[in-house]
Amino acid sequence: MESFRVLNLFRKMFRPCMGILAAVCMAVTVVATPANCGYTASQTAQMQSVQASLYAKTEGYGFYLDGEFVAASDSAEDIRSALQSITSVLAEVYGAPEGEHSLQNDVAIIEGVYEGDDFSDEKELLSLLGDKGSSFDFTVKNVYGAPINSSLSLITKQYVSADTPIAHGEVVQTTDALAVGETVLVKEGTDGVRFERYANTYINGVLTENVLECSVVTAEPVDSLLWQGTEQGASLMCAEKMMLPYDGIVTSWYGYRTLFGRTDLHNGIDFAGLNGSCYGDDIHAVADGIVTYADWHGNYGLKVVIDHGNGISSLYSHCSKITVSVGDAVLAGETVAKIGNTGRVTGSHLHFGVLVNGVECNPEPYLDWTSYKGIHK
Ligand SMILES: [Zn+2]
């Protein structure tokens, strides 16, 4: 390899004069072959040998930058390696950001037969591309030392992704379950999340393109819900029926019944478990509303009352535990208490009532029974 380099160096240094010499010799050969031009046979043979080695055709790989020949190498890998090195050097020289660096130039590595002095090794190739070790030259030279028309240009592709928040909104509902001027935050909203990916392109360290490649909402924002009290406001209840407070069966409907030896008006509906015990099961608010009572109340035991507006309230009693407080805003289906046996009872159950303008009425027509699993009377 070393002798090959020395030979190459020799060829490069002497190529111009050898070329003239060879041309002269060829002319002499053509014009004055019979007379041998005054050279001895051995001199002619020597010249032909130098000429032959100078113009020896060797298999290799030519490296072309933007169509211009730079140098040849006997290894395509050496050319690629040099290009990779120069790309890193350029990234440093231009202060390019982190990313995928490559040359913007048209780079071609063409396998073929090249002349001996076209060849250079990886280190020399780096030098031709401008990397002088301690300094950088922006002019690319070919293997014969002549500058080529193109200069190297570094392209950096950078992908940046980020989650950006999507602000949540606020829904305001009016209700006469609250006094005028009173507001309750029923549900705190949550911001959504948008995932975005940008493809940035830098040329020689300068941002030239910023493309939004992908934008996906990974979490939808959830609006907060605010209730605003108003005497003339629309009711929270509207005309819709209320959901069942408990997924069980009715053990006693509204009406007259005899209990503890006395005939009384049973002023609500009793619910118990579908399959056995219901103690500790969740009791759900039958509609949106504001908690107006959440405490012990004589025979009712632990009792919760929810005002739904329009003069309608719901009542839940004999609870083992209350999970809301007076003033709380609750949404339909929210757990407000646990079934128990507090107050005047014969066993664990939920006594559910509906009050219209403060009077306990038959809750049956107010409830939506479509999901009821027992036998509806
Ligand atoms: Zn009851």
According to the model, what pLDDT value does residue 2 have? 39
Which residues, chain by chain, have CB under 5 Å from ion ligand 1?
268, 270, 351
What's the distance, CA 156 to chain centroid?
A: 22
| Cα 186 to averaged position of ligand 1 atoms, centre (Å) | 30
More confident residue, 296 or 233: 296
According to the model, what pLDDT value does residue 53 have? 59
| Cα 237 to averaged position of ligand 1 atoms, centre (Å) | 24
**How confident is residue 19, by pLDDT bands cut at 50, 70 and 90?**
very low
Enumerate domains of the chain plus CATH numbers.
1-55 (no CATH), 57-152 (no CATH), 161-228 (2.20.230.10), 249-366 (2.70.70.10)
| Cα 300 to averaged position of ligand 1 atoms, centre (Å) | 9
| Cα 101 to averaged position of ligand 1 atoms, centre (Å) | 78
**How confident is residue 297, by pLDDT bands cut at 50, 70 and 90?**
very high
| Cα 252 to averaged position of ligand 1 atoms, centre (Å) | 7
**What is the rounded average pLDDT of the residues 201-205?**
96
- What sign for the dihedral angle of Cα 287, 288, 291, 292? negative
Give the Å distances, CA to CA, from 370 to 241, 242, 243, 312, 355. 11, 11, 9, 21, 22
| Cα 353 to averaged position of ligand 1 atoms, centre (Å) | 8
According to the model, what pLDDT value does residue 16 have? 37
| Cα 328 to averaged position of ligand 1 atoms, centre (Å) | 25
| Cα 240 to averaged position of ligand 1 atoms, centre (Å) | 24
Please enumerate, as own/partner, the contacts of 48-53 that have beta carbons within 8 Å and a separation of 24 or more. 50/18, 50/21, 51/18, 51/21, 51/22, 51/25, 53/7, 53/11, 53/116
pLDDT tens for 36-78 read 556 777 777 777 766 665 566 789 999 999 999 999 999 999 9
User: Does residue 22 surpass a pLDDT of 70?
Assistant: no
User: Does residue 32 surpass a pLDDT of 90?
Assistant: no
User: Does residue 202 surpass a pLDDT of 90?
Assistant: yes
| Cα 268 to averaged position of ligand 1 atoms, centre (Å) | 5
| Cα 269 to averaged position of ligand 1 atoms, centre (Å) | 5
More confident residue, 80 or 174: 80
pTM of the model: 0.54
According to the model, what pLDDT value does residue 264 have? 82
| Cα 253 to averaged position of ligand 1 atoms, centre (Å) | 8
User: Does residue 231 surpass a pLDDT of 80?
Assistant: no
